[in-house]
Amino acid sequence: MSLESPRQEPKPLPLDYYAADPAFRRLMASKLPEKLHAWAEPRFAKLGIRAAVEVDPLAIAADRTPPRHVPYDPLGNRIDDIVYHPSYPEMVRIAYGSGLISLGYDPALGREFGRIPHLLTFGLGYLFAQAETGLYCPVCLTAGTARLVAKFASPDLQRRYLPRLTTPDADQLWQGAMFLTEKAGGSDVGQTSLKAVQEGDAWRLWGEKWFCSNADADVMMVLARPEGAVAGTRGLGLFLVPRTLEDGTRNPVRINRLKDKLGVRSMPSAEMDFQGAVAYPVGDLSKGFLYMTEMLNLSRVFNSVASVALSRRALFEAVRYVRDRSAFGKSVDQHALARELLAGMIVEQEASTKLVFQAIHHLDQVDAGMESTDGPLLRILTPMIKAHTGKLAVKHASEAMELHGGNGYIEDFVTARLLRDAQVLPIWEGTTSILILDTLRAILKEKAHERLLADCARRLERLADPQLREWARPVERALLTLASEVSAWDALDPSRRELAAKRFLEDAVAVTEASLLFEAADEALTAGLARDSLVARLYALMRFGDRRQAMDALDDSYETLVDPSGQAAMPPFMEALTRA
């Protein structure tokens, strides 16, 4: 006769990415201004359902029937059209119609709420990208194109292109793209050989680009080297290249072939050949690379949002599966090893989501004129979040697949697509090594790490709850160690400094995530909510504590963590929690 109490049946996870995610709901409530959050929450709720119920089946169809290139019409005229499965344009309508870009440019919203923060549009993007990673790339590229036009283009180009880049109406929309990569260069953009030739007042581009996503975009942002310009990135100019000219003819930009990609197959990536394409200079041609880094860094933030969204989707599917699957006489989620793994994934995903949206907060602050205070933080966090979350997405997609067993490896289940899609996330917008070098550059050039570590220390110093302060002690010690290690970098040769920067990135992510989790826990306790404290405690144990204790605590915490209401009872080891 068992003395164990009967297991209560778990609450079902709703087919709704917003309702199933209590941590994200609290994050948006805490980060957005109260009035704006009240306006936005019904839109989060609507998209959470639409992404799960409408977009996901469309994404399956678009993945299984990728776009195809049609180079010629029946009469042999070169047209370079791309033909999509009908599911893809329907996803386009939902994505852009949900305001993933347009809300930030809506004058009526601006009058009512002031500047519309990126936190809102990225929050919506987080929900959409759980269903479809492929299309979220064109959304990213269109947002980046609009940003460059708004910040650097002439008034005439702004008038002609910005309204169509920022409309929620798919029938009026012009999508954007960023074409950087060439055969020789890869991440070394300084090797760009695409040539810009001036003919009177006009410019034309000649040459090839090697990896061009959203290949049939209406508006392309392209780096090219004007004739006579110096070598390296300093000699690059930024050009706006329309797909269709004002007289309705096709600009001579050929699609050589579409890439046969491992994942994100719904969206076309291509090799492009510019054969005298008409191009419009954007801003000062001597600052082209500088301008393009604006779009590149925004793309890295989009990539990070896509990564934590994919991690969340992998987790969502794994939890649903193990609840319904029996093995060795009980459901899989009653086995300690599965519970510990899933609980750890939940903690990692929630920590990383907080980190990503903290970087987005700094982006909002920079756009609001706070460059001196938030610029260094944004520049060091952007490569950090991209490097960390891209790897995490691959890890979580793989772990979710394993929890499904053999079924997870079969294309009938979404886990196969998630793993294929995840693998591009550490590659797009700069590989991990490039991101480490960018982190190192932010440290050496402007000592951005000092601001980052000081912010972490400040969060921990402000903790009001004595139990949280005690649990955070190992994080404070890790902060001191990290600062001490960086101070010794002057004695290292350049190659050793690069390796030290890799360790810094990994350790700095951990202390920053921990500080954000403890800050959120302290704030939640004032409202009588203890779930954030549980997540902060578990994270501290996982990253800075005893591994055996962490594994036991994760197993004990599983039921609490997966409760979609966020109101489940705390596990017994949390009974020591006191309130300030």
Q: Which residues on adjacent β-strands are paired with residue 351?
A: none
Q: Which residues contact 102 (CB under 8 A, 6 or more apart)?
A: 96, 166, 167, 168
pLDDT in tens, 404-429: 999 999 999 999 999 999 999 999 99
The reported pLDDT for the residue numbered 288 is: 96
DSSP assignment of 14-74? PS-TTTT-HHHHHHHHHHS-HHHHHHHHHHHHHHHHHIIIIIHHHHHHHHHS--EEEEE-T
How far apart CA 302 and CA 178 sit, in angstroms, is 14
Q: Which helix (H) or strand (E) holds 205?
A: strand 202-213
* Cβ contact 124:44 at 8 Å: yes
Kindly compute the dihedral angle of the four CA atoms of residues 568, 574, 578, 580, in this order, to the nearest 10 degrees. -60
Name all domains of the chain by residue range, CATH numbers in brackets. Answer: 177-286 (2.40.110.20), 447-574 (no CATH)
Given the structure tokens 């290949």, which residue do they identify? Answer: 215
pLDDT at 359 over 80: yes
How far apart CA 320 and CA 338 sit, in angstroms, is 13
The reported pLDDT for the residue numbered 5 is: 37
pLDDT at 140 over 50: yes
The reported pLDDT for the residue numbered 580 is: 43
pLDDT at 323 over 80: yes
pLDDT at 85 over 60: yes
From the list 341, 268, 269, 355, the residue with the least C-alpha distance to 308 is 355
What single DSSP character describes residue 524? H
Q: Which residues contact 490 (CB under 8 A, 6 or more apart)?
A: none
Given the structure tokens 């602050």, which residue do they identify? Answer: 365
**CA-based max dimension of the chain:** 92
pLDDT in tens, 169-228: 999 999 999 999 898 867 788 889 999 999 988 999 999 999 999 999 999 999 999 999
Q: Which two tokens stand for residue 3?
A: 């003395």
What single DSSP character describes residue 286? G
pLDDT at 465 over 50: yes
How far apart CA 508 and CA 510 sit, in angstroms, is 5
What residue type is 429 in one-letter code? Answer: E
DSSP assignment of 534-564? HHHHHHHHHHHS-HHHHHHHHHHHHHHHH-T
Q: What is the mean pLDDT of residues 279-301?
A: 96
What single DSSP character describes residue 104? G
> Model pTM greater than 0.85?
yes
From the list 280, 346, 330, the residue with the least C-alpha distance to 13 is 346
The reported pLDDT for the residue numbered 327 is: 82
